[in-house]
Every structure is written in structure tokens, then in C-alpha cells.
Amino acid sequence: MKKFNLFNEIIITDKPTLLQAINSSKLFGINTKGEVKNEPFEDKEVLIYQGKPTIIDDFENGLGKNYQLVEDEDRVLIKAFSNWQ
């Protein structure tokens, strides 16, 4: 079992996959490995994000105000610690 401290972690995910999930207007999640998952989710899957955001104009606010997103070429770096402070 991997120890995971969300306060210290930066989750790296694939930018095109994340944009496709956001713009699909379907429920999706992002796990601790940075993988974008669609419904149905596994029972023991740990997700740092689960939701159905509206289509976005500003990528930095795509997951909500408590997520810090940084674009880096074809990757998105996510800091989600603000949700648990």
C-alpha cells in the first residue's frame, strides 16, 4: 500500500484526456495516479476529483476554485490540497 499525503502531492495528468473529459459534460474522476476515469468507478478507487464540470473558458478553473492547475505542454499539474484544508 502506498502512503499518500495529498498536502505534498502534485498530480500529473494528460492534458488532452482531461480536456476531453471536461468537455464531454459526463461524470468523471481523477485518481491519485493522474488517470482520468469515467463511470462506473471502482469501489476502492481513490479519486482526488469527481464531478461533471461545465464546458470551460478558463482552464485554471475547470475543476473548481480549490484546485490549482498548471499547464505544462501536454500535461496538467494538479494541486488539490486546498479541498482538505
Position 37 scores a pLDDT of 95
Q: Which residue has the cell 482552464?
A: 59
How far apart, in whole angstroms, are the C-alpha atoms of residue 26 and residue 43?
19
Name residue 39's amino acid.
Answer: E
Q: What is the mean pLDDT of residues 1-19?
A: 78
Q: What is the mean pLDDT of the chain?
A: 82
Burial of 73 (0-12, 13-18, 19+ CB in 10 A): exposed
Q: pLDDT tier at 34 (50, 70, 90 boundaries)? A: very high
pTM of the model as a whole: 0.82
